[in-house]
Each structure stands twice: as structure tokens, then as C-alpha cells.
Amino acid sequence: MNRAISFGTAVALFAAAGVALVASKMPRPGQFTASSIVSSANAVEAGAPIYYQHPDGKPLYSLTPKKTPDGRDWRGVPAGADVSFDEPGETPAVKAAETNPKRKIKYYRNPMGLPDTSPTPKKDSMGMDFIPVYEDEDTGDGSVKLSPGKIQRTGAKSEPVVRRPIKSIIRAPGTIQLDERRVSVVTLRFEGFVESVANVTTGDHVHKGQPLMNVYSPALSSAAAEYLSAINAGATGKELKGARRRLENLATPEPAVKELERTREISLSIPWLAPQDGEILERNAVNGMRAAPGDVLFRIADHQLVWALLDVAERDLPQVGIGTKVTIRPRALSGQAFTGNVALIYPHLNAQTRTARIRIEVPNPDEVLRPEMYVDAEIETGTPAPVLAVPESAVLDSGTRQVVLVDRGDGRFEPREVKPGRRGGGYVEIVKGVAEGEAVVTSANFLIDAESNLKAALEGFAGDEGSQFGQPADKEARP
């Protein structure tokens, strides 16, 4: 019957994971893995069958012999060929008795994982022995104890909780745009005429102070004559300053004012200069044209510093802050990368894409980054200092709570609810729940969790005052 006990232990693990079984029926499809499929030869050699399986290996089972619609017999599965986590002769009851015959049995639990316990040995409706639960195994803290052999066979591994930096990369697409602060326009504050335009056109690079055109205006000539008269009259103080201020109010270039002071002659037209370094984005000035106040004659932009506007998913926004380092990789410039920092996170989301726009200031000394270029960005996020972290595989997430299995040594494992933080690099920050140096299970933890959940469910059932060790459930379980 040891094999039968092993079968019960295996099925109990699946039942703890949320599979509902009833004693009058065999497991439904999907409750066994491929390892439970046995051949006809093995079934014959192993002895009398304890249940029957579909001959094609489908997850269909029966307590009694059956036939398929085409007349084939269902395959008998004996206890010796059933799935088991224990070696032959090494079921929990046998091993416990051999190791310490003085151990006290607290109660017996159903081998199929049903909420059915008994204070005395008994069998279930399938003839399988109930599994004893010893007092030293019932700790009351939800922990579970496994034998070294079972730990080795399940492949359970543990890793200590240590402090480490958590870093992750957020990838986002974007485009290059002009820095709005580095764009200027050339316009007049008075009505005038463009006598001639310099040999510059759209796309040319100009330097600050470079002549763009020659401008004539009666208002400009009148202000220049007034200032010259004040100079020739030897005016000083407010009178001279007022005459000069009129020229300045008309945005007369400073070199033109100094030339007037030097030559004491009024020029017919005045050279109009570029206000900054940059490329000409727009040229509207034409030889001989009449220009009204405010007309845009030139528009110039400096490309030494540009913006990269990125669209970041809403869920990633909490990880991005002002000053975060970003690497920009233009799709048109293979192999080239540029770095910058987050300068602004725009306050509104895009309702259609559920993304937020962030702005990166990127130095562009060689001016290879051009407006409207597509770029791919990598935003480096993470904790600036090391934090308590565990591998992501160590966290069991049910959707409403997160749990890790703490390895307390000697084969005992304790489920512990934790509060996770940032994730990155295969690790997750643990804000609350574990201490530095504690070991947590990183592999096969779902099997241990299933055993722990089953144990907690049985303890709760056994502790119910009205159940009297599961007698009512026993009646319900019987066919």
C-alpha cells in the first residue's frame, strides 16, 4: 500500500494548487502530467490496477473498467506504476516510522488532498490509507518540512537575501525636435524697404553679426539725423541719451550706431545683422520688397542643442524622473549613440496611446541630429543605492498578494508575505517581509507552496470544532 500512499501524496500537491477532487470520481482532464501515463506492459507487471486510464494516454480516468467507443479496454494503472515523488518504500509514513518510532501522530489526513481528517487510521473510498500527520510536523506557522530526498528530487534551491542595486532599462521611441529657445526671427519695428539681400538662403549656416540684408526706412533716417544733430550740438546727458534711445527702440544694429558716431554721416541704408548662430530655416526677404512692422524676413535656428521627444508608457512613468540619464540611438545613424538627461515630463497623457511625452536635451555639436529624425531611446532607471532584493523567480504572485518561501534549514520552509518594489535585471526589490541574510527558495517553490497550502487547509479543517476531525466531510466524500 506504500505505492498508494505515494499516489495520494502526489495528487495532494495538485489538489493544493486549486484542483477540486471528489472521492467518487477520478481526477478531471488536465490534473496529471505526461509522467502519469504508463504503458500496458508496466501496468501488467506492477499488479492489480487502482484505477483505469484512457488507452490513448488522454487525461481521462475511471475507478471501474471501461471501454472506448471503438471497443478498446481502458488501461489499468496499478499502484506500482502511479506517479510518486517518493522512492519505493519511502513514503512519509514509512520513513517517519523507521526514523523515529516514538514520534506521536496528531491526526490522519485524506491521501487525495480532500478536507477530511481522522484521529485514527482509516481508508478512503478508494481503499487508500490516510496519511499520518505528526506533532513535530504541525508547527502552526504554515511552514512545511520536506525530506532531503524530496528536496533533491524537486530541484528546490535557495539563495540568501542580499542588498544590490536594482536597475532596469525602459525603451521608448521618439523624434528629434528643435529647441524652441534657440530659434529667432528677423523682423523690423518700422515700415521700411529691403534694398538688397545678402547671398544667403534657406539651409545656409550664418554667424551672429553676419549681414543678412540692407534696409532703408524714413523713420530710421529721421532718428539717425536727430541723434547726429544732438552730437554736433554738443548735447550731453539726458538730451543725448534720449536721441540714442530712439535709435535703440527701432532695434538699430549697434555697429550701425557706432558707424554713425564715427563718420557723422547718415547712410541711405543700414546693414541688418543675424541675431545668432544657426541655420536659416526660412527666408522671406526679397530685393526691393516693402516690409511692414512685424513681418518675418528670416527665421534662424541653432542646432547645437536639440530635443528628443519620447513617448513613455503610462506604467513606466513612476520610474522616470528629472535628470534621469537617457541614451539616444538614431535609426538613420547606425552605431552612433548620444546621451542626454530628462529635462521635462509633460503634464498630460495621450488618451489614445496611454503614453506620456518626456523631453531630453541632447548636445549636438556636429549637427548630425536633424529635426524629425526617428530615434530609439534607452532610459536607465533603478535605485541609486543597494536595496534588499531577491530573484524574480522567488516571488509567488497570486495577483492579490506576493509570497516568498523562506528556507529555515533542516528541510523546513516558511511562506512569508512580502511587499515588492522595483524590478530589474532579473531581481525584485523587497520593501517589507524579509531580512538581509535570510534564504529564500528560487526554484521549485511552487511545489513547496502547494504542500504548504495543503497543510494549512488541513490544519484549518482539523481545528474546526464542529468537524470532529473531519467526520462530516468523510460522510460527504463517501459515494
- Residue 39, pLDDT > 70, answer no
For the purposes of burial, counting CB atoms within 10 Å of the CB of 295, is it exposed (0-12), middle (13-18) or buried (19 or more)? middle
Question: What is residue 474's three-state secondary structure?
Answer: helix
HSE-up of residue 446 (Cα within 13 Å, Cβ side): 7
Mean residue pLDDT of the chain comes to 78
Give me the pLDDT at residue 416, please.
85
Location of C-alpha cell 481526477: 27
* Strand partners for 406: 414, 440
Stretch(es) of the chain classified as CATH 2.40.30.170: 169-180+303-382
pTM of the predicted model as reported, rounded to 2 decimal places: 0.57
Q: Does domain 169-180+303-382 have CATH number 2.40.30.170?
A: yes
Closest listed residue to residue 301, CA positions, set 280, 274, 275, 273: 280
CA distance 251 to 187: 10
Architecture of domain 188-295: Beta Barrel (2.40)
CA distance 167 to 380: 7
Q: What is the mean pLDDT of residues 190-216?
A: 95
Q: What is the mean pLDDT of residues 397-424?
A: 83
Give me the pLDDT at residue 99, please.
53
Q: What is the mean pLDDT of residues 198-214?
A: 95
Stretch(es) of the chain classified as CATH 2.40.420.20: 157-164+386-443
> CB within 8 A of 62, min separation 6: which ones?
26, 51, 52, 74
- Residue 162, pLDDT > 50, answer yes
Strand runs (DSSP E) across 314-411, as ranges?
325-330, 338-350, 355-363, 374-382, 387-391, 396-397, 402-409
Percent of the chain predicted with pLDDT > 90? 38
- Residue 83, pLDDT > 80, answer no
Percent of the chain predicted with pLDDT > 70? 74
Q: What is the mean pLDDT of residues 3-24?
A: 38
CA distance 353 to 311: 9
Tell me how far CA of residue 292 lies from CA of 187, 194, 251, 285, in angstroms.
Answer: 9, 11, 14, 12
Total residues found in the chain within this entry: 479
Query: What digits encode the pLDDT tens for the residues 103-149?
Result: 678 778 777 766 678 888 888 888 888 888 776 655 555 567 777 77
- Which of the given ranges, 14-18, 107-111, 142-146, 270-274, has the highest pLDDT on average? 270-274
- Residue 345, pLDDT > 80, answer yes
CA distance 72 to 53: 12
Question: Selecting from 2.40.420.20, 3.30.428.10, 3.60.20.10, 2.40.30.10, what CATH number does the domain 157-164+386-443 have?
Answer: 2.40.420.20
- Residue 309, pLDDT > 50, answer yes
Output b/e per residue, 360-387; b: 16+ Cβ within 10 A.
bbbebeeeebeeebebebebbbbbeeeb
Give me the pLDDT at residue 407, please.
86
Q: What is the CA radius of gyration of the chain?
A: 42
Closest listed residue to residue 239, CA positions, set 223, 254, 227: 227
Lowest average pLDDT, out of 22-31, 57-66, 320-329, goes to 22-31
CA distance 404 to 416: 5
